[in-house]
Amino acid sequence: MSGAAPFLPASLGKVAVLMGGRSAEREVSLMSGQGVLQALLDCGVDAHAFDPAQRELMALQREGFDRCFIALHGRFGEDGTVQGALELMGIPYTGSGVMASSIAMDKVMTKRIWLAEGLPTPRHVLVQPSQIDTLSADALVGTLGWPLIVKPAREGSSIGVSKVTRAADLHAALRAAAACDSDVLCEQCIVGDEVTCPVLGAGPDARALPMIRIVAPDGNYDYQNKYFTDDTQYLVPCGLPDSEIAAIDALVIRAYQVLGCRGWGRIDVMIDGATRQPYLLEINTSPGMTSHSLVPMSARAAGMSYQALCCHLLAHAGLDNQEAAP
C-alpha cells in the first residue's frame, strides 16, 4: 500500500475532531486528538477540536459540522454512544458503527461472538463484584491456570489490568478491576509472543496493515509502558515466519469482519510460545493516535504517513444507514 486514496480536502467540509471525553482514557484521547487535528490541518482540512466533556454533542449539528473524526477512547466514545448520537444527527464519522462499537468495547461479548464463530481466544471467567469476596482462587485457577489476567470488561489502555501469579494477590486484583467496571474478566494468560494487528476497510475489502511485535519490560505492557516510556520495543517487521504472519492476518481480518467493524481497528493477539497457536485478546475500534501509538507505526511501515492515514480514515467516514463516504 503506497498511501491513502487521493481526495480534495475541501470536499470533506467542516470537520470536528472529537477528543477528550469522560472516560478513564481522557488523557490519552487528548493526545490522540491533538495529533489528528494537526495532521488534518496540515492536509488543508477545515478541522476543529471538539471535546464532548465540555460541549454538548448537538452543537455539532447547530454549527454545521459535516464529518467527525472520532479520537475518543473508551466509554462514551468508543462504545457506540457517540456513534448513535452522530447517526441521529446524520453526521458521518470515522470507525465502526453503533453495534460493532458497542460489542467490541465489551470484552466478554466480543469473546462470545468469536467463540461462536470458532475463533480462538483465551479461556475466561466473568466475575461480578458481589462474588469477589467469596470467590475461590482454587476454582478459578482450576479453570484458567497460573498465571492469569484480571481486567475490567469494558476499559482500554490496560487500565485496571493485573497479571496475577499467586492466590494472595487475586482479590486485590479483582477489586482493582471492579473499581473500573461492574464486570470483571479473568482470563487465561497466554505466554509467548505479543503482537498487534491493525486493519483498515470494511467487509470483504478489509485488509491487514503490517503486524507489530511488542516486547515490553518484563513482559508488562501496561499503561505506563504504552504511553509514557521508551522502554518498550515495537518490532515492525515483526520477525515472525511468513506463514505465521499470513495465518494471523487471516485470523484478525475474520475476527474484525464477524463483529461488523468498518473503517479501522486494531486487534491484539498472543501467540503461545510452545504451540504457536494465536489467541485473539481484544479489539480496539478507536485506536490510539499518539506519538507512541501502534496503528500509525504500522501504517508508516506500509508507506503511509501519519497525515495520509488521518486523511484516509476521514475520507472514508460513514453512517450505518448509508454507504461510507467516497
Does the pLDDT value for residue 5 go beyond 50? no
pLDDT tens-place string over residues 71-85:
999 889 999 999 999
Element (H, E) at 302: none
Using an 8 Å Cβ cutoff, are 256 and 283 in contact?
Answer: yes
Say how far apart CA 276 and CA 284 lie, in whole Å: 23
- Residue 256 corresponds to which amino acid? Y
Looking at residue 3, its pLDDT comes to 46
pLDDT tens-place string over residues 185-221:
999 999 999 999 999 999 999 999 999 999 987 666 5
Residue 229's pLDDT band, with cuts at 50, 70 and 90, is: low
Q: Mean pLDDT: which of 4-18, 125-139, 202-216, 310-324 is highest? A: 202-216
Say if 9-94 and 124-188 have the same CATH topology. no
Mean pLDDT is lowest, of 4-13, 47-56, 210-219, 276-285, for: 4-13
Report helix angle 26-42 to 306-315, nearest 10.
Answer: 90
Looking at residue 9, its pLDDT comes to 85
Element (H, E) at 116: helix 107-116
Looking at residue 324, its pLDDT comes to 39
- Residue 123 corresponds to which amino acid? R
Measure the CA angle with vertex 69, ends 199 and 290; round to 5°.
65
Element (H, E) at 270: strand 264-272
Using an 8 Å Cβ cutoff, are 151 and 110 in contact?
Answer: no
pLDDT tens-place string over residues 274-315:
999 999 999 999 999 998 899 999 999 999 999 999 999 999
Instruction: Please choose, from the candidates 119, 260, 109, 278, the residue with its C-alpha nearest in 3D space to the C-alpha of residue 199.
Output: 260
Say how far apart CA 259 and CA 89 lie, in whole Å: 24
Bond before 204 cis per omega within 30 degrees:
no
Residue 326's pLDDT band, with cuts at 50, 70 and 90, is: very low
Looking at residue 113, its pLDDT comes to 98
% of the chain beyond a pLDDT of 90:
79
CATH superfamily of 124-188: ATP-grasp fold, A domain (3.30.1490.20)
For all residues of the chain together, what is the average pLDDT? Answer: 91
Residue 158's pLDDT band, with cuts at 50, 70 and 90, is: confident
Residues belonging to the active site: 25, 157, 227, 266, 268, 282, 284, 288
Looking at residue 159, its pLDDT comes to 81
Say how far apart CA 111 and CA 14 lie, in whole Å: 38
Task: State the fold for domain 9-94.
Answer: Rossmann fold (3.40.50)
Is domain 103-120+191-307 classified as CATH 3.40.640.10?
no
Residue 241 neighbours by CB distance under 10 Å: 10
- Domain residue spans in the chain? 9-94, 103-120+191-307, 124-188
All three cell numbers of 51: 471535546
Looking at residue 37, its pLDDT comes to 98
pLDDT tens-place string over residues 231-276:
789 999 999 999 999 999 999 999 999 999 999 999 999 999 999 9
DSSP calls for 179-237: TT-SSEEEEEPPPEEEEEEEEES-GGG-EEPPPEEEE-GGG---HHHHHT-S-SEEESS
Looking at residue 44, its pLDDT comes to 96
% of the chain beyond a pLDDT of 70:
92
Looking at residue 31, its pLDDT comes to 96
Looking at residue 85, its pLDDT comes to 97
